[in-house]
Amino acid sequence: MINPRQFTSYKKADSSDTASVQPDRILTSYPTETLVEKDKKYKEQKILIPEFSLPGSLAKPELEGLTFHFMAFPTLFEYADFRLIDGNKYELLGFNGKPVPELTSELVDLYTEAMQVYFEQNSEPSVYSEKDTFYHKEDITLLTGKVKWDFSTYLRQTTEVENESLYELEKEGELEYEEFDEDFNYTTDYDLPVFKDENGNTLEFVCRLYAPNFPGSHYLFYSKETQLVRQFSKSPRRQEHQIYFNRLENPDPGIDVLEEISDPSKVFTEPSYFHQMVLLPKYSFPGSIAHKKYADLRFHFVIVPVFNTWVDFRLTEDNIYEVLCFDDQLPGDFTPEFIKRCEDNIDTYFEEIPEKTRYFIASDTEMEYDSLLLSTGTEPIWDQADYMREKTEEEIQADYDASHMNILSDPFQDRDYVTDYDAPELKDENGDTMVFIAQLYEGILFGSYYLYYSPKTRLVRQFFQCT
């Protein structure tokens, strides 16, 4: 008998919601006591963070009395192994089937950088109770019964006999398939070594969890014989994070703010580019907005004439820009005719320079008419296809999967093209691929601005595109 899969939605609950709910029907986020005492070092070093705990009975009646935990672990790994020990705590065994290596400082740095996506989430403990209606964006979704993968790594084709059984279950209303990859033609390949415990016993599926504050898809498998718990986690390959910046008067010292610059000439090592109206520094923001490892850097969006494609800058040690080239034109080659053409394109923007610096603070929602929208993540949404290529079949599948990991639609799912990181324009002077920092789209500015950065050479390349 194949267990039908069941999607259950859970909402954040308050005391009145949980007063009448049995403890074994509640999910808990950010549980404080999950690891055994000797494993606390992993949590303290932030390479393993408890995210959710749930009673085993939520998945299957026969798992009553057990408590399972969803852990955030470095995105470098596909799965992590734990031992369920006394008191329903977890002992970490290893990642991707290998024991935990000696945690050198270099390795801890590598792991914590890969954990960055989890550091950014809300860390306040909460409880969730089951709800009757289908999920909303902020709800937790638990899948039990039959595993449904968001990726095809562990699938095999079904046999004719299996298909007949599946059709019978569907006719009886015992099985409902949705438009995912695993359908009547594919099923989990439990003969793969990854679904075996240390003794060769087949692991059983416990549940899969989606949560807006726990990015990706997360799956638990369990061995009754050895108490091994194997958690698979899969994150979207491409990610976009949209941040609104709303006006803020008199910000407190020490908080990260985006600035509309009142003295643009100070952004350049050579102020003549500003005085000649060739380039106009407009916004400045801390690198921590893109990634915490850039916390000591400050980037700037510079208004350019509409005929410009890109500008190269060198980010100096004091975080100002040295102009290197304007498209393929070196600063020493700027002719009077070229300077006049630039001025004619952007002269009106120079009339809008604020007398005092204006400050903006990050928010999840747009609050004012003059809010700014910044996008960060793995790559931008380009206005044009100059630096894009067609997706491969694997990438099409990965973006399709990502839409289900995110529950709602994924911004990359319906696009046929992705960033072509083999394009020479996305390489620095040494031929190394630059990293995407941020995209700016702002109503009073024409077009979109994109920043890429080379950590090795401190090259900043700003692209300008319009539809």
pLDDT digits (tens, 9 = 90+) for 85-112: 988 999 999 999 999 988 898 998 889 8
What are 378's two structure tokens?
A: 């793995």
- pLDDT tops 90 at residue 264: yes
- Looking at the fold, whether 71 and 124 belong to one and the same domain comes out as yes
Gap between the Cα atoms of 140 and 217, Å rounded:
12
Task: Judge contact between 184 and 163, C-beta under 8 A.
Answer: yes
- Supply the pLDDT for residue 458: 97
- Looking at the fold, whether 343 and 253 belong to one and the same domain comes out as yes
- Looking at the fold, whether 230 and 369 belong to one and the same domain comes out as no
Question: Residue 310: how many CA atoms within 13 Å on its side-chain side?
Answer: 19
Q: What is the pTM of this model?
A: 0.75
- pLDDT tops 80 at residue 169: no
- Supply the pLDDT for residue 181: 42
- pLDDT tops 80 at residue 463: yes
Amino acid, single-letter form, for residue 362: A
Gap between the Cα atoms of 73 and 65, Å rounded:
25
**CA nearest 413: which of 395, 398, 400?**
400
- Supply the pLDDT for residue 461: 98
- Supply the pLDDT for residue 180: 40
Structural domain includes residue 347: yes
- Looking at the fold, whether 171 and 272 belong to one and the same domain comes out as no
Structural domain includes residue 456: yes
Structural domain includes residue 351: yes
- Looking at the fold, whether 115 and 155 belong to one and the same domain comes out as yes
- Looking at the fold, whether 56 and 189 belong to one and the same domain comes out as yes
Task: Judge contact between 412 and 402, C-beta under 8 A.
Answer: yes
Structural domain includes residue 1: no
- Looking at the fold, whether 229 and 279 belong to one and the same domain comes out as no
What are 396's two structure tokens?
A: 């099409």
What are 269's two structure tokens?
A: 């090592």
Task: Judge contact between 74 and 30, C-beta under 8 A.
Answer: no
Query: Could you tell me whether strands 49-55 and 67-72 are parallel, antiparallel, or unpaired per DSSP bridges?
Result: antiparallel
Boundary (domain end) residue, out of 234, 257, 274: 234
- Supply the pLDDT for residue 141: 85
Q: Rounded to whole angstroms, what are the CA distances from 138 to 59, 68, 193, 256? A: 21, 22, 36, 26
Lowest mean pLDDT among 234-238, 310-314, 436-440: 234-238
Gap between the Cα atoms of 178 and 93, Å rounded:
35
Task: Give strand pairing partners of 295.
Answer: none
Lowest mean pLDDT among 26-30, 305-309, 419-423, 456-460: 26-30
**Is the pLDDT higher at 243 or at 5?**
243
- pLDDT tops 70 at residue 328: yes
Task: Judge contact between 26 and 39, C-beta under 8 A.
Answer: no
Q: Given pLDDT bands bounded at 50, 70 and 90, which one contains residue 201?
A: very high
Helix (H) or strand (E) holding 349: helix 336-350
- Supply the pLDDT for residue 137: 63
Tell me which residue has tokens 């008998």: 1
Q: For the chain, first and last CA: distance in Å?
A: 55
- Looking at the fold, whether 288 and 262 belong to one and the same domain comes out as yes
Structural domain includes residue 442: yes
Question: Which stretches within 70-176 are classed as H helix?
Answer: 105-114, 116-119, 160-171
Boundary (domain end) residue, out of 167, 199, 234: 234
Burial of 208 (0-12, 13-18, 19+ CB in 10 A): buried
Q: What are the start-end ranges of the E strands in 110-184?
A: 126-130, 140-144, 155-157
Can you tell me the mean pLDDT for 130-135? Answer: 68
**Is the pLDDT higher at 396 or at 418?**
418
Task: For residue 390, give its domain range.
Answer: 240-465
**Mean pLDDT of the chain, nearest integer:** 86
For the chain, what is the domain count? Answer: 2
- Looking at the fold, whether 157 and 249 belong to one and the same domain comes out as no
Q: Rounded to whole angstroms, what are the CA distances from 209 to 221, 266, 319? A: 12, 50, 42
Tell me which residue has tokens 């916390």: 295
Q: Which of 75-79, 111-115, 157-161, 390-394 has the highest mean pLDDT?
A: 75-79
**CA nearest 282: which of 309, 304, 302?**
302
Structural domain includes residue 193: yes
What are 143's two structure tokens?
A: 């899948």
- Three-class SS of 366-403: CCCCCCEEEEEECCCCCCCCCCEEECCHHHHHHHHHHH
**Is the pLDDT higher at 89 or at 405?**
89
**CA nearest 209: which of 453, 8, 422, 370?**
8
Boundary (domain end) residue, out of 234, 261, 294: 234
Question: Residue 10: how many CA atoms within 13 Å on its side-chain side?
Answer: 26
Lowest mean pLDDT among 90-94, 153-157, 275-279, 438-442: 153-157
Tell me which residue has tokens 């074994």: 24
243-258 residue pLDDT tens? 888 888 888 777 788 9
Can you tell me the mean pLDDT for 139-143? Answer: 85
**CA nearest 266: which of 312, 317, 320, 331?**
320
Structural domain includes residue 141: yes
- Looking at the fold, whether 217 and 255 belong to one and the same domain comes out as no
Helix, strand, coil content of the chain in percent (nearest 5): 20, 35, 45
**CA nearest 12: which of 26, 24, 22?**
26
Task: Judge contact between 394 and 450, C-beta under 8 A.
Answer: no
Burial of 353 (0-12, 13-18, 19+ CB in 10 A): middle
- Looking at the fold, whether 372 and 422 belong to one and the same domain comes out as yes
Can you tell me the mean pLDDT for 434-455? Answer: 91
- Looking at the fold, whether 268 and 191 belong to one and the same domain comes out as no
The SS3 of residue 147 is coil
For the chain, percent of residues with pLDDT exceeding 90: 48
Helix (H) or strand (E) holding 406: none
Q: How many residues does the chain have?
A: 467
- pLDDT tops 50 at residue 330: yes
